Structure 1
Amino acid sequence: MPPDAQSRGCLILIEDDPVMGGALADRLELEGFDVAWARSGREAEATARRVRPALALCDIRLPDGTGEALMARLRPLIGATPVIFMTAYGDIDLAVRLMREGAADFLVKPFETEDLLRRIAALLPVFAEAGGELGASAAMREVEALLERAARVDSTVLLTGESGVGKEVAARFLHARSPRADRPFVAVNCAAIPEALLEAELFGHEKGAFTGADRRREGFAEAAQDGTLFLDEIGELPSALQSKLLRLLEAREFARLGSAKSIPFRARVVAATNADLSALVSSGRFRRDLLYRLDVIRIAIPPLRARRDDILPLARRFAVECAARFGRAPPLLRPSAEEALLAHDWPGNVRELRNRVERAIALAAGPWLDAADLFPGEPRPMEEVIPSLAAAVAAAERRSILAALEATGGDVTAAAERLGIARSTLFEKIRRLGIRTG
């Protein structure tokens, strides 16, 4: 792997052909993976005992057996780690059967390396560059573009959106792309700190400034140095502190409690709110002049229900992240889980999605997550949610194909006949829809 590349995790490549194996290993390492190249099933087992891979890429015909037999031996070692099989055209029926037994995907040789990379990105979106860091939807790609442009200037930014949409994630994204990226990012939740302590926490205090102040302490504004000071839930800032924050922004200086000495303020301020600040101004609960100072560049982050194309990629990303934290392989989502995720209205937005995935993984008994894992204890009430036409068509196609494969015992030719489509068309739909059952 190049010395300046960031590792995307370990990938086991199981391929006995020295030319193809070498070419794939080189390209995957360039993409940032730590590649463990095994030239036989025996080598693959030995590797799997040493490391837990993020993904396995396996030839279906090996010098010491079949990929099918190898996968059965590897499962106790790699858990639900996704497996992509590489197969010749004559073994397509076997590859389809392997997907029904838990394989994640298959590729027919010869294939384009870019196609392989797209398949990997779909299975491991936490490692993927495509679709954007904040989301795959057009709405979030536009948010990213606005944040990228805002990062180049030093103006104050106001992030708006419902609770849980990811405003702090957006603020960190902006900071990481700004000239201040190597300086501190200091986050302050204005609603989480008691009002009596908030001024001292924000501006710091001298020894003896109040009862219990037994030493001098720097505040968040000072700790931010030349970096970014992120003020979350800015609408909850008490009135007395609003005037002091206004002075901080206008004079670019502050003083610790108990001191008359001014300290220069050099950080950039990014604020966030889920409240309507204009309404708070009208009711007298927020200073109009402070709003003007904060609202230089406003970026609205849409709720998750308004960007449903982000739901499944985010769910898979959180599954990878949570599983890694628990020391497990990431589980795969059954079609029932995907449909339930797409149908839910997400009142808690991305935060709710992350929490549901984390809880499901923590309690999961096997390598798959279904709807009951993500939404336990429900019959859930029917919700007035209209999925996108593309999502509805994909869900209907998936159900029909699974039913046809079930009815024909996995015979792809017979299933294609029942569905009234060409065999090659069915193969493509199986790949595109990521059909897999346990």
Structure 2
Amino acid sequence: MLLERRRVALVEDDPIMGESLLQRLTLEGGTVKWWRDGTAAAREVPKFKPDIVICDIRLPQMTGEDLFRQMSDKTAAPFLFITGYGDVDQAVRLMRAGAGDYLTKPFPMDEFLGRLDGLLRPIESEASGVLGLSPGMRAIETLLLRLADRPAPVLVTGETGVGKEVCARFLHARSANAEEPFVAVNCAAIPDDLIESEIFGHERGAFSGAVDKHLGYAERAGGGTLFLDEIGEMPLKLQGKLLRLLENREIDRVGGAAPVPFRARVVTATNQALPRAVADGRFREDLLYRINVVSIEVPPLRDRPEDIPWLMQRFFDALTQDGTSLRGISSLAEEAAIVHAWPGNVRELRNRVERAVALADGDWIAPVDLFPEQPAPADTTSVVASLATARDAAERREIVRALGATSGQIGDAARLLSVSRTTLWEKMRRFGLGS
């Protein structure tokens, strides 16, 4: 239906007009709330968080124009004004001020619904947990889905091994240009004397050894995505050329006479603090502004424990798809993984699961298979002393699983665990799980 999953704020003092619109908008699938005066609407509409506001211009206590101007810094929802013939000049003034559209009374319902449809923004896809179950990774997934078909440059930051390239590949895969190439370049892995030629390409004879024309990574990306990893390691002399590439959308091959059009989207990544690199004179400030149109920080694995069992199972499934005698990952191994600090983040987790799959002695992956460097308990006294720790680890693991299964909703997770919301909240605080 036209308004399915939409929230509509209706501000209309005429009871007949208001009732008619309320019924029709509800039939179209909308969640509609009706206000009969501007003062109440100004107070309550922002809390309602509407997708669109339908507003009469002549209202008791406050005009529709005053309401629009008062709410302009509280909601981004478009306004569709309903006017009488005498209010057209005012409606035009409101359009110039940023209102969405207006209709003069009386109007055909089909025309009204058509104008409404034209103002509604497309519903954004919701996070499905492809990148992780934690609230942080779900928020990143939602943001990447919003950016998928918008060409703005994206800068992905975070510690080594958190999954910055995974995020860039997800962004590319969800875009309209997913069939075009995804070209990844590690700026730290290419020697300084070759990086210009590798990224921008060169013409035959451009320098000694250039026996043929070479298409650089930027050109090979076509209309897809050029992913520049470790952008903070790019030589300073080459940063100016990258800036020109982004601003002019043209590739200057080494030794080339004419520029080549550049069509790809640029996504960059770094584990450095680029503002500090700018202050140290190692990175151009103007380039930072250009690549940092949208910035996404991927949290370290230690800050998203909900993702650890999920990632472990994904890695286990991928590593054993050709067959294995292992039955799975033990709950004790999961508990040990959840309390580990993971300095190497997701990359370390994958490596440890891969080692465990290759060398595990039993039917289930045990803590010792993941962390062979950790000493076993020296005697039974230490085992007994660790029972409280083991109990806490088990509770923490179950809470993490429940939060992951309910997308972080504390009330739903409490019901799943058969405890009160207050009890769950206190345990989350004790285990450092935040809100």
TM-score range, shorter chain: 0.5 to 0.7
Distance in 1 separating the partners of 2:397 and 2:293: 43
Name the structure 1 match of 2:358. Answer: 362
In the TM superposition, residue 175 of structure 1 has moved relative to its aligned partner by: 0.5
Q: What displacement does 1:364 show?
A: 2.3
CA distance in 2, matches of 1:295, 1:371: 41
- Larger RCO (CA within 8 A; separation ≥ 6): 1
Could you tell me how far apart the structure 1 residues matched to 2:131 and 2:244 are? 33
Larger radius of gyration: 2
Check 1:331–1:351 CA distance in 2 against 1; reply closer, same or farther (3 A cut).
farther
| Residue number among 286, 302, 305 corresponding to 2:302 in the alignment | 305
The structure 2 residue matched to 1:215, chosen from 205, 212, 216, is 212
> Once the two structures are superposed, what CA deviation does each residue of 1:27-76 show, in whole Å capped at 9, x if it has no partner?
xxxxxxxxxxxxxxxxxxxxxxxxxxxxxxxxxxxxxxxxxxxxxxxxxx
**CA 1:390–1:243 in 2, change beyond 3 Å: closer, same or farther?**
farther
CA distance in 1, matches of 2:392, 2:314: 22
**1:131 and 1:391 mapped to 2: Cα distance?**
27
The answer to whether 1:344 aligns with 2:346 is no
* TM-score with structure 2 setting the length: 0.57
Instruction: Give 3-state SS (helix, strand or coil) of 2:320's partner.
Output: helix
Q: Which residue of 1 is the match for residue 184 of structure 2?
A: 187
SS at match of 1:180: coil
Q: Are the equivalent residues in 2 in contact too, given 1:331–1:361 (CA < 8 A)?
A: no
Shift in Å, 1:208: 2.0
Q: What are the within-5 Å matches in structure 2 for residues 272-291 of structure 1? A: 272-291=269-288
- In 2: Cα distance, 1:130 partner to 1:280 partner: 34
Once the two structures are TM-superposed, the CA of residue 313 in structure 1 deviates from its matched residue by 0.6
The secondary structure found in structure 1 opposite 2:131 is coil
Task: Select the residue among 328, 331, 335 that pairs with 1:332.
Answer: 328
SS at match of 1:145: helix
Indicate conservation of the 8 Å contact 2:156/2:297, yes or no: yes
State the alpha-carbon separation in 2 of the partners of residues 191 and 329 from structure 1: 40
* Percent identity (aligned): 58
Secondary structure of 1:308's partner?
coil
State the Cα distance separating 1:226 from its structure 2 match: 0.4
From the superposition, tell whether residues 130 and 371 of structure 1 become closer, same or farther in structure 2 (CA, over 3 Å). Answer: farther
> What aligned pairs does 1:41-52 form with structure 2 within 5 A after superposition?
none
Q: Is 144-153 or 222-231 further displaced after alignment?
A: 144-153
- For 1:361-399, what per-residue CA distance to the aligned partner results, in whole angstroms no more than 9, with x for missing partners? 122234310011001132299xxxxx9x996525599xx
Q: Quote the Cα distance in structure 1 between the aligned partners of 2:134 and 2:392.
A: 13
**Structure 2: which amino acid aligns with 1:265?**
F
Cα contact 2:206–2:255 (8 A) shared by 1: yes
The answer to whether the 8 A contact 2:127-2:141 is kept is no
- Asked if the contact 1:206/1:216 (under 8 Å) is kept, the reply is yes
Supply the AA of the counterpart residue of 2:191.
P
Secondary structure, aligned partner of 1:257? coil
1:182 CA displacement: 1.2
Alignment partners' CA distance in 1, 2:194 and 2:249:
22
Cα RMSD after superposing both structures = 2.4
Report the equivalent of 2:160: 163
Specify the SS of the correspondent of 1:338: helix
Inter-partner Cα distance in structure 2 for 1:395 and 1:227: 40
Pair 336,149 (structure 1): closer, same or farther in 2 beyond 3 Å: same
In the alignment, the residues of structure 1 paired with residue 335 and residue 360 of structure 2 have an alpha-carbon distance, to the nearest angstrom, of: 18
In structure 1, the gaps of 5 or more residues are 1-128, 382-386, 398-424, 426-438
Q: Partners of 2:350 and 2:143 in 1: how far apart?
A: 25
The code of the aligned residue for 1:343 comes to V
Residue segments in structure 2 that go unaligned for 5+ positions in a row = 1-125, 378-388, 400-417, 419-435
Q: CA deviation at 1:255?
A: 1.8
- Residue 393 of structure 1 is matched in structure 2 by 395
Amino acid at match of 1:349: N
Number of aligned residue pairs: 263
Q: Distance in 2 between matches of 1:207 and 1:149?
A: 42
2:328/2:364 contact within 8 Å kept: yes
Instruction: Determine the C-alpha separation between the residues in 2 that align with 1:130 and 1:194.
Output: 39
Specify the alignment match of 2:129 in structure 1: 132
Q: CA 1:259/1:363 → structure 2, altered by over 3 Å: closer, same or farther?
A: same
Residue 330 of structure 1, CA deviation: 5.8
Q: Which amino acid aligns with 1:136?
A: L
Aligned to 1:227: 224
Shift of 1:205: 1.3
- Which of 201, 205, 225 aligns to 1:204? It is 201
Deviation at residue 130 of structure 1 after TM alignment: 9.1
Q: In the alignment, which residue of structure 1 is the partner of 2:316?
A: 319
Is residue 320–residue 329 contact of structure 1 (8 Å, CA) maintained in 2?
Answer: no
1:131 Cα offset (Å): 5.5
Give 1:378's aligned residue.
374
* 1:175 aligned residue: 172
